[in-house]
Structure 1
Amino acid sequence: MAPKPITSPVPDAWYPTLAVFMLAIGLVITASFFIYEATSLRKNRSLAKELITGAVASVFLGFGSLFLLLSSGVYV
């Protein structure tokens, strides 16, 4: 029995589209984080909201960067 080759769970043709959308979503969430930090008073800020917003933005920017590298031919 021959071993199966390792393949990506996402088709290669989707890499550029996923990169654009995930980076765009990550940048929008990052912008909303900065706007929240600049416009809210220090005593009215929520640590939980800051951590969740930062984590979600980080995930989208991380996967967006991964798909950007994959679409440009840098296989990581």
Structure 2
Amino acid sequence: MAPKPISSPVPVAWYPSLAVLMLSIGLVVTASFFIYEATSSRRNRSLSKEITTGAVASVFLGFGSLFLLLATGVYV
């Protein structure tokens, strides 16, 4: 029995589009995080909202960076 070759679950043609989409979403969420931090007072801030917003931005920027590297030919 011959082993199956490893293939990507996402088509290679989608890499550039996914990179732009995920990086854009990540940057928008990051911008909203900074705006929230700059405009809210210390008493009105919510730790759970900060952690959630930071985690969402981190996930989108992380996957966006991954797809950007894959789209440019750096296979990680």
TM-score interval, smaller chain: over 0.9
Please give the alpha-carbon distance, in whole angstroms, between the structure 2 residues aligned to 1:35 and 1:49: 13
Partner residue of 1:67? Answer: 67
Partner residue of 1:24? Answer: 24
Partner residue of 2:12? Answer: 12
Aligned residue-pair number: 76
Structure 1 length normalisation: TM-score?
A: 0.99
Partner residue of 2:2? Answer: 2
Structure 2 length normalisation: TM-score?
A: 0.99
Q: Deviations over 1:22-72 (max 9, x none)?
A: 000000000000000000011100000000000000000000000000000
Pairing 1:57–2:67 present: no
3-state SS of 1:20 partner? helix
Structure 2: where are the runs of 5+ without partners?
A: none
Please give the alpha-carbon distance, in whole angstroms, between the structure 1 residues aligned to 2:44 and 2:28: 22
Which amino acid letter does the alignment assign opposite residue 43 of structure 2? Answer: K
Please give the alpha-carbon distance, in whole angstroms, between the structure 2 residues aligned to 1:6 and 1:32: 38
Structure 1: where are the runs of 5+ without partners?
A: none
**Large movers: runs of 4+ above 6 Å:** none
